[in-house]
Structure 1
Amino acid sequence: MSETGPERAFLGETPQLTAAEVAEQAGLPLDQARRLFRTLGFAEHGDARAYTSADVAAMRLMTQILDDGVVDLDVALNVTRGVGITMARLADWEVGELVQHVADGVPEGEPVDDAGAWVLARLGERFEGLLVYAWRRHLAAAIARMESVRALDDDPHTTDLSVGFADIVGFTALSNEVSRERIGELVEVFEARCGDVIAREQGRLIKSMGDAVLFVNDDPMAAFTTAEGIINVIGRDPRMPDVRVGLATGGVVLRMGDVFGPPVNLAARLTQVARRNRIIVDHATADLLPGDQVESRPLPARPVRGFGVVEPVAVRRA
């Protein structure tokens, strides 16, 4: 937030408040208000008048949440951090996609001082509605998953899942050989196609790292089908680079929208020993895959960083 630039148009009013005034009006100690702003990912502005009444309203919401006593400050900060990280990435994504492409379609002769403001004025409210809709749907799905885990385990943060890691083969070398535009297109197509396959098989895309995606499935066979689908839509397309997929199954910790635990690390390590457009799994996953549908072939044991000597298993459709 600043006193100049496009933020003024997006926020709907000129910033007139200091951080101290926001904190006072919201009923929060100044250091706590500053901490909340930092946790949301916003830059600090010292004593500058860089804030609006919307900032006061947001801080009052946090005050009400804390006053209810349902969560303490640490929990509130963790949730706030998740909101900040997610919204920052979404904003960058939207600006890069919408402003770049939609602004090119501004009718000739229409005065446009700021392409971003022009796009937001026409699409912002509708995308805001879409954002709330998607959040509610994902929230309902997350609660359903937690209730399912609680039926099996006392700890809702820990559960058994099949974890998949898919990455583009030779991405570093490839990025040095083609244009930035081409790399951007490859990454966009890779993530979009992987996301479609993961959703189709009832999985969850945990995160994308440009040249790789991390996903989870409740069912090992669904994870295998997901891996197979990613290879079909990426590695089998002559216009796209090859991929490798590793799968591992076991107990993972679900926190902050991410997954942690040995299966996550092992799935990533297994991609390093996989051949192009092949699926490599650990024995835990191989043992859970139906033998009449999937062929398993143990590979020679080899050292895997962080796991000692491991005997990977190559799998394919029977």
Structure 2
Amino acid sequence: MNYPRGVPDEPDLLASTVEEIDAALLGGHRAYSAHDLARRADIGVDVVRGFWATMGLPHSDPDDPFYTERDAEAVDRAAALVREHGLDLRTVITVTRALGHTSDRLALWQVEALVEDMASRYELDDATARLLVLDRLVELAPVLEAQLVHSYRRQLAAIAGRYAAEFGEIGNPGPDATALPLARAVGFADMVSFTRRTAGLGSTDLSEFVQRFEAAARDVVTAAGGRVVKTIGDAVLFVADDAATGARVALGLADALGRELDVDSATAAGGIAEGARGVTPVRVGFVWGRVLSRFGDVFGPVVNLAARLTDIAEPSHVLTDQLTAAALAGDPSFTTAELAALELQGLGTVVPVQLRAAQP
């Protein structure tokens, strides 16, 4: 099949394309060394090198002209966070690490999606599709960047709204001054028999399968009022601001994901391997309690408990604990049933409670 224009297929043309991408995305050619950036920002060269290492983009030679004008501006802004806004250097490092970790995954995710799109639309092999993405990257980047900034601002506004709503709780964790600061419902949904079901899949089918799981999980979580903290291959970690919302998320995941991931109906072309056919249910565990939110993740004993409950849940079932069941006791939307007590390593004796939606 013909596609709109050729792709760079000679080494010199490829090098030229990469130089053009550098110039377009990074604000000109690489003309500054780490020493140059340090002098310009009036900081130590070790701080400059630490900034790029924290971004996940270290460069070994501090005298090598590796950086561009926009790189220099980024270092200037990091220095201004300390000088003009009074942030501690460790805080700047944490913020920078968050950007590096998140943008690395985001860029890879989006570029791989573009490769799949090019390969599918123009019937290209993987290598040619990647070269075509390189050829299109400069024109696509401004649109992707604008969407990223809009999404980021939207997320900041949403966080500000949640903080405002729970301001009193954040400032007063309760009688126990050592308690973790945030009350949250925390849960996991873990795909059953992921390894067996995906054995033998090629890269395209495996990518489609994993993407469908992640997209379906996010849709269910957000529709019920929760938020996805992260996905881990065949599992998703979610949070919600109250126990009832967490219960609706958990039940929604257990009910919907098997149907969403019915691979026979999802892949009209019939390319999915036999081992992955059929409904793919999930096990779900969720707990209401207090957590610490850091590094874009959540931590605390209730997170560990939710994970262990997920491990022991039956497919398409939701398990919680007695305290969470008590928090839901007055809500007629749910029913609970205590199961036999179990010894869970590191947690002691736990009484799992099966959660169900009340029948209308």
If the length of structure 2 is used for normalisation, what is the TM-score? 0.81
Amino acid at match of 2:348: G
Report the more deviating stretch, 211-220 or 236-245. Answer: 236-245
- Do the aligned residues in 2 keep the contact of 1:102 with 1:119 (CA within 8 Å)? no
Question: Equivalent residue of 1:28, what SS?
Answer: coil
C-alpha offsets along residues 62-85 of structure 1, whole Å, 9 cap, x if unaligned? 121111142110011111111111
Of 128, 143, 149, the match for 2:145: 128
C-alpha offsets along residues 243-272 of structure 1, whole Å, 9 cap, x if unaligned? 010011111011121111111111110011
User: Paired residue for 1:189?
Assistant: 212
When the two chains are superposed, the root-mean-square deviation of aligned CA atoms in Å is 2.5
Question: Equivalent residue of 1:296, what SS?
Answer: strand
User: Paired residue for 1:265?
Assistant: 304
- Do the aligned residues in 1 keep the contact of 2:26 with 2:69 (CA within 8 Å)? no
Percent of aligned positions that are identical: 35
User: Paired residue for 1:225?
Assistant: 248
Asked if 1:54 corresponds to 2:54, the answer is no
User: Paired residue for 1:66?
Assistant: 82
Of 265, 274, 286, the match for 2:325: 286
- The Cα shift of 1:106 comes to 6.6
Of 10, 15, 22, the match for 1:8: 22
Distance change >3 Å, CA 30–CA 4, structure 1 → 2? farther
- The Cα shift of 1:232 comes to 2.7
Asked if 1:169 corresponds to 2:173, the answer is no
Asked if 1:87 corresponds to 2:103, the answer is yes
User: Paired residue for 1:235?
Assistant: 258
| Distance across 2 between alignment mates of 1:291 and 1:202 | 17
User: Paired residue for 2:55?
Assistant: 40
C-alpha offsets along residues 210-258 of structure 1, whole Å, 9 cap, x if unaligned? 1000000112121111122222321234334110100111110111211
Question: Equivalent residue of 1:51, what SS?
Answer: coil
- Do the aligned residues in 2 keep the contact of 1:234 with 1:243 (CA within 8 Å)? yes
If the length of structure 1 is used for normalisation, what is the TM-score? 0.91
User: Paired residue for 1:204?
Assistant: 227
- Do the aligned residues in 2 keep the contact of 1:269 with 1:305 (CA within 8 Å)? no
State the aligned residue count.
314
Which ranges in structure 1 are unaligned for 5 or more consecutive residues? none
- The Cα shift of 1:5 comes to 7.1
User: Paired residue for 1:213?
Assistant: 236
Amino acid at match of 2:309: L
Distance change >3 Å, CA 103–CA 53, structure 1 → 2? farther
- Do the aligned residues in 1 keep the contact of 2:225 with 2:249 (CA within 8 Å)? no
- Do the aligned residues in 1 keep the contact of 2:184 with 2:241 (CA within 8 Å)? yes
Runs of 4+, deviation exceeding 4 Å:
103-108
| Distance across 1 between alignment mates of 2:16 and 2:305 | 48
- Do the aligned residues in 1 keep the contact of 2:337 with 2:353 (CA within 8 Å)? yes
Of 20, 23, 26, the match for 2:41: 26
Which ranges in structure 2 are unaligned for 5 or more consecutive residues? 1-14, 174-179, 264-278
Report the more deviating stretch, 73-82 or 175-184. Answer: 175-184
